[in-house]
Every structure is written in structure tokens, then in C-alpha cells.
A and B are shown apart, each in its own frame.
Chain A
Amino acid sequence: MPTPALTDTLQRVELADGVEIHLRIAGPAARSVAWLVDCAILLVCYTLLGIAVTYLSSWIGNEAGTGFFFLSLFLLNWFYNVAFELGPRAASPGQRLLGLKVASISGGPVSPQQSIIRNLLRTVDFLPFGYLCGLGSCLFTRRFQRLGDLVANTVVIYAGTEKPGAQLSLAHTAPAPPPVPLSREEQAALLQFFERAPQWSDQRKLELATILEPLTHARDAASLDQLARMNAWLLQLGSTEPAQTPEAASAATATP
């Protein structure tokens, strides 16, 4: 396996069964938007609370209404996120809207302690204003953790899988073996190239195919065609015996 890139939103986690799962870590941008949505929701909550207290006060008296207001304020301020994170979706409404959820670092659900710690420490993450501390911490940790996440050992991940894009039809491609044996990483790069190809413009496909000139001895469309044949061959074979000469076609590793 190659050394993992420094910034990779895919985090490998090894479960007790020895199997590796991949968590897709959410970055500060998505989390900020989720936070803004939550802010808007809280704002609506405060407004509704104010109205509710005004009505309630005429029922149960002014003092009791004010008391109710303080109690609700306390719970909303400190436990809004905790309540949602411990729910079945493990996400505040804002996070849910953006398809995020909070998880323990192993991908498991957050425990009540973890959730309380990470949300109480928002006070510090918010300093000096607008979650600047949290943002700084996010940018300097591998898993985009703010300070509260670091202490509670939690991460914010994307819930669910990426929507699969259009699939490339390879029915009419005649399979052809690559001229040199490809290593596992090279095979993976080639397969992923064609899995992702439908998302790119034609120019981009040709540009990337041309980088592989040392392997295909062709440029542009001809190179792409050759690569498609190798891809079809790999798919048809469905086996990836380790290559004997890993140094061959080293340029192939430069693919996406």
C-alpha cells in the first residue's frame, strides 16, 4: 500500500474483525453550513419560545412563565446538539440537511459522554469569535476535528454513500492485456479512471490518457482507446495477480 496522502477525506478505520472500513470525513465548509442552518433553526426556536412564554404567562402567571423561559434557554443553549446527536440519526437538523453525522472515531455511535464533551467545548471552539479556534483546529488535524472533537474522540462524517454517477458502457470494447504487467495500485488507478470518466469532459479524459503515453505508446484518442481495452481486459479477468515487475509503467501511477 502506498503511504496515504496527507489530506485524504477517506479515513481508514480497522474494525475488530480486521476489516478496513472507510469513513468519509466532512470538512470545515460543510460543517460551517450545517452550523448556520442550526443557527437559523435555533433562532426560530427562540422566537417561538418567546411567543409561547407570552401566552403561557397569561395562564400560569408571569413569574412561572419567566422561569419556564430560563429553563428552556438553558436546555437549548447547552443540550440542543446533544439531544439530536444521541438520537437515531446522530445528527443535528443542520447536519442532517447536509448529509452529515457525528460518529466516534471508530465509526461507531457517539456515547452520551462524548456528545456532552464535544458540545460543551463549543464555548472554547467559538473563541475568539465565529468558531475561529475550531476552524484552526480543523485545518491542522488529519480528520478535520475541532477541539471538542479532539477531546471527545469524535469525527463528523458523511452519512450514506456517494451517489453513483453514469456508468460507462464497455460492451463494444475488445479486451486487450496491458503490454507490461501492472501493479495493484496501477490496476486500481486504471479501473478508477474509467469509473470516474463519465464525470469529466472529453478534453480532460484525453489529457489524462495522454499522460499514459509511456504505457500506451499513443496519444489522445488512441491512448484512451488502448486504456479502455486494458480496462475491459482487467474487468473481464476479474483477477489482479500482483505484477512481477512493479517498476514497469511507473508513469501509470500518475493517473487520478
Chain B
Amino acid sequence: MKTDDIREKVRAFILDEILPGERPENLLDDMPLRTSGLIDSMGTIRMTSYLESTFGISIAAHETGVENFETVDSICQFVAAKMAS
């Protein structure tokens, strides 16, 4: 899967499930999601299981912290690395 496809699916989840009603251009790929409170812990749990089933990856409990889940960019990098490994 191409990086662009990953990005599209990650953005679609956030826009549909976390920020419904927001215009796509307002979601910036480097916008802080966790530390800002835009995504809470429940949102992270739902996103984790979405990423696992969508991309066929397995995410360990300790990998769901801010270091991987803070921005659209970091989530995409994390997913791409998981898929490559």
C-alpha cells in the first residue's frame, strides 16, 4: 500500500469518527491530536482497532502513546513502518 493510501484512510477515520462535520482542509497533518485533547483515550482505542483491521497490522499496548499517535503524520509513519516490518 502506498503512503498516500495510508494517509487517506487515517484522515478518513479521524474526520468521520472523531471530527465529523469538520472540513477536510482544516485537519492539518501536523496538528497535535492527543496533547491538544482532540482525540481522547477512548478515541485512541477505537483508532487502534481500526488501524489493525484496516492495515492488517498488530499494535502492542505500549505503542499507542503520544510518540506514535500525536499527528496524522506520525500515525502514517507508524503504520507504514509496521507494514514494512
Bound pair: A and B? no
